[in-house]
Amino acid sequence: MQEKINGKSGQNQINMQDSNRAEVLRFLALHPGCSRAELGEATGLTQASMTKIVRSLTKSGLIYETGFTAGKKGRRSVGLSLNYNRYKVLAIRLSAHWLEMQPHDFHGQPCGHLLSVPIEALSEANMPSIIERIADGVTTFLKDFPELTATAIAVPDPCRRADGSILIPSDTNTNTDTNTDTNTNTVADTATIKDTAKDTDKDATKNNSSAKLFPLCKKLEEQIDLPVFLIHDADAGAIACWHNLPDKNTGEVMLHIFADDSIEVGLTRGGLCLHDARMISMAGHLPIDPQGHVCPKCGRTGCLDSLASLSALESKANQELSAFPESLLNRVSAISARSVFESARQWDPLAMKLIRDCGHNLGLGIASLLSICTPDRIFISGGMTHGGMLLLEDAKKTATKHLASYQTLPPIELVSPDENRILTGTAYFAIQQLLNAPSRYLLPPDSEESKN
């Protein structure tokens, strides 16, 4: 039984002390050079508590004094800052076809090279080899950066942060290519295309009938000597968008739509995830068209992912090509999202229509999302942003049309697809987790500060 201290158990007091340290460290991470008085005002801690915490964190080397700074009423104060050079984190992104890894410092800036390797589809059979590749990468980076303290991995949905697991197809499933190749220079048989789509829908439903949760973080921690945190990739992107704001004191709610090979949706407030860690995120698969095809990933009919992603753009281009014999897309050997965007820049009617259609569907998804959350800003990133204003204007127009009478559309901004915000946001997330539990991750296990 815990010894009672001032009516509270010793363990509760220790947890409170670590919570106070975490408050101080999180504020210092965003406000380097601030004074003890500013820390006390921001955290609400008493002067005595602040003095004790600052002394312990300075002694452990987690923070240091930066010298005198101008304080209130012209008084000089001693500034404090986090020791950014003492620790680094390894950001990992696992997508459907690629594995990316890169160390970052405590400013969230990349250091060292970016490791990017192709992988096979995420499946039960492939996970052991993927785990091995990640473990090999961690071992390599640790040789160059022994100060690596933790790693975080961004994954597509479905995932669950509470136990660090992802939902993957089981080995009993059979992969089916849902993109029927109808790219020919002659008029295709429309009836055949429709029949093929129906067959594909049936196969998609059958393929998604069996899936299982894979304990990704647990398996990784068995192979590497670092704590592993899991985050949804769109949440990571939202965190990165927040860190790019000029004012980080607003606590704004950010809705981030990652529109790429699939549609992922992230939600943060003040740079912190709003998704319940116990829930599986599937907002990118909101059903928006009951007449649409069955999604091969989630099994739902007409979900956002199946109507506004890069793969949906390519599939739709193949289906509609026969109705546009003069389209530039008839001249390419195989239709890709890139060829659609390039043709749109040359004012190709079909390509422009396809991008606007995706924008329309994205607008429907945004209107649906605004029924369950009220963000201050919406950011759209990923490969679909190559659609530019064609995509954005139709998305805004459709979303506005389908809002409730009491709703207003928040600002929507396209983020450059050339910026790897998901990897950057993953690094910020890892730093957050370390700062949230300094005694567990940052203080030496045998130090007095980690015990008191």
Task: Give just the sign of the alpha carbon dihedral 221, 226, 228, 233.
Answer: negative
Helix, strand, or coil here: 282? Answer: coil
Phi, psi of 188 (to 5 degrees): -85, 160
Task: Give the per-residue pLDDT at 277.
Answer: 55
First to last CA, the chain: 18
pTM for the model stands at 0.80
Instruction: Indicate if the pLDDT at residue 11 is higher than 60.
Output: no
- Cα Rg of the chain, angstroms: 25
Cis omega (within 30 of 0) on the bond before 158? yes
Task: Give the per-residue pLDDT at 279.
Answer: 56
CA distance linking residue 434 with residue 231, whole number of Å: 14
CA distance linking residue 392 with residue 308, whole number of Å: 12
- The token pair at 3 is 């010894």
CA distance linking residue 108 with residue 233, whole number of Å: 16
pLDDT above 90 coverage of the chain, percent: 45
Distances (CA, A) of 168 to 69, 160, 207, 349: 53, 12, 12, 38
Task: Give the per-residue pLDDT at 68.
Answer: 67
Mean pLDDT over each residue of the chain, to the nearest integer: 82
Calculate the CA dihedral of residues 337, 342, 345, 348 and round it to 10 degrees.
-80
Taking each helix axis from N to C terminus, what angle separates 337-344 and 310-320, rounded to the nearest 10 degrees?
A: 70
CA distance linking residue 413 with residue 437, whole number of Å: 34
When pLDDT is averaged across residues 201-227 and rounded to a whole number, the result is: 74
* From 2-16, 35-49, 189-203, the region with the lowest mean pLDDT: 189-203
CA distance linking residue 43 with residue 41, whole number of Å: 6
Instruction: Indicate if the pLDDT at residue 444 is higher than 70.
Output: no
Cβ distance 99 to 51 under 8 Å?
no
Task: Give the per-residue pLDDT at 441.
Answer: 87
pLDDT band at 394 (very low <50, low <70, confident <90, very high): very high
Residue 196 half-sphere exposure toward CB, CA atoms < 13 A:
16
135, containing H or E segment: helix 127-144
- Going through 180-292 in order, the beta strands assigned E by DSSP cover 211-214, 228-232, 253-259, 263-269, 272-273
Cβ distance 358 to 292 under 8 Å?
no
Which position has the higher pLDDT, 175 or 248?
Answer: 248
Residues 116-136 pLDDT 10s: 999 888 888 899 999 999 999
Cβ distance 50 to 82 under 8 Å?
no
- The token pair at 197 is 């789509």
Instruction: Indicate if the pLDDT at residue 322 is higher than 80.
Output: yes
Distances (CA, A) of 388 to 37, 192, 344, 359: 47, 33, 10, 10
Nearest to residue 101, comparing CAs of 110, 112, 89, 90?
90
Instruction: Indicate if the pLDDT at residue 206 is higher than 80.
Output: no
Q: How many CB atoms lie within 10 A of CB 109?
A: 11
Cβ distance 321 to 350 under 8 Å?
yes
CA distance linking residue 110 with residue 100, whole number of Å: 13
Give residue for tokens 């993109």.
179
Task: Give the per-residue pLDDT at 278.
Answer: 53
What b/e string do you get for 412-446 counting C-beta neighbours within 10 Å, with b at 16 or more?
bebbebeebbbbbbbbbbbbbbbbbbbbebbbeee
Task: Give the per-residue pLDDT at 7.
Answer: 42
Give Cα 409 to chain centroid, integer Å: 23
Give Cα 221 to chain centroid, integer Å: 21
* From 25-29, 162-166, 191-195, 437-441, the region with the lowest mean pLDDT: 191-195
Distances (CA, A) of 114 to 148, 167, 245, 340, 420: 15, 26, 25, 29, 11
pLDDT band at 387 (very low <50, low <70, confident <90, very high): very high
When pLDDT is averaged across residues 77-91 and rounded to a whole number, the result is: 86
Q: Where does residue 274 rank: exposed (0-12), middle (13-18), buried (19+ CB within 10 A)? A: middle
Cβ distance 414 to 392 under 8 Å?
yes
